[in-house]
Amino acid sequence: MNTTRCVCGFTEDEAEDQTLDDHLFEAFAPDDDMGPDGLVHLEGQRKLTCLCGLAAATSRELDAHLLALFTPNDAIGRDGKEHLPMFVAVNRQT
């Protein structure tokens, strides 16, 4: 599954210093990390645990939890641009 590009033009670098999930989190997460459920959602001191109490099995599971909470239906980030993995954008058009 190729998820290394965002429709806004962001591309993961080869060193993966910033992943697509990192980019999407920055685009959607509010400054206070407060989710629509009124809880703070951010990785806690215990690895793979969200401050809301969710314990994830993998970092991908934690990333998916955070992105599901913060991604608005229209995928417009705080910068006013659309942010979606390229494969999602292509599949959404068909």
Mind listing the pLDDT tens digit for each residue in 19-57? 888 899 999 999 999 999 999 998 888 888 999 999 999
Please give the residue range of the domain that contains residue 60.
20-93
CA distance 59 to 38: 23
| Assigned domain for 7 exists | no
| Assigned domain for 43 exists | yes
| Assigned domain for 45 exists | yes
Predicted confidence (pLDDT) at residue 76 exceeds the cutoff of 80: yes
* Model pLDDT, residue 17: 78
Predicted confidence (pLDDT) at residue 3 exceeds the cutoff of 60: no
CA distance 54 to 73: 22
| Assigned domain for 10 exists | no
Our count of domains for the chain comes to: 1
Q: Residue 93 — very low, low, confident or very high, per pLDDT cuts 50/70/90?
A: low
The rounded percent of the chain whose pLDDT value lies above 90 is 60
